[in-house]
A = this chain, B = another copy of it.
Amino acid sequence: MAAPSLRRRSPVSLRDCNLSKSFELIGDRWTLLILRSAFWGLRRFDDFQADIDVPRSVLSNRLAGLIESGIMERREYREAGQRARVEYPLTRMGQALGLPFMAMTAWGDKWLGGGTSPLTLRSKSTGQKFSVALVDEGGRRAKGSDIEMVIAPRFERKRRR
């Protein structure tokens, strides 16, 4: 992505912007960390609490928000001979956050991790590494200078400058 030219105002209003809507749901440090744990397969209240050391009341609060957003769900389950437990699995909507999270991870690996990547994604069948990329319909990677942002006319705000 190349450096954008100067603008005085976003061409899409916050109200119409799906990016800002998603920040409202998950744009909070604890929420993001809870989701990180969830991607590793954690599902239980106390496990989340211990894993990221979040205050219990905050965890309770954030889980409620994630459930309300439809990103996680609350489910009672019972293992044989055990009492009922509660688990918080990701919904399909939540699982779909995997891609943005992988992209963030790659960014972190490059700019914060000194190039080290604790985690990589690989193909089970071919063993090839996977990476997140901006590609066209044929799978060709986009070149920074060839990318054009197009705003759907019905969302576009009059440009002040």
Name A's B-contacting residues (CB within 8 A). Answer: 1-12, 14, 16-25, 27-29, 32-33, 36-37, 39-44, 47, 50-52, 70, 89-90, 93, 95-113, 116-126, 128-142, 145-152, 155
Contact = CB atoms under 8 A, between A and B. Distances in A.
Contacts of A17: 36, 108, 118
User: Does more than half of chain A's interface fall in helix, strand or loop, or is it mixed?
Assistant: mixed
Given A1-B95, A70-B111, A99-B133, 13 more contacts: A2-B95, A4-B39, A8-B47, A19-B105, A22-B104, A22-B111, A23-B33, A27-B32, A96-B110, A121-B142, A122-B147, A124-B148, A138-B139
- Total copies of the chain: 2
A155 to B, nearest CB: 4
Contacts of A120: 149-150, 152
A99 B93 contact: no
A130 B135 contact: yes
Contacts of A152: 116-120
A18 B104 CA distance: 9
B3 A42 contact: no
A126 B108 CA distance: 31
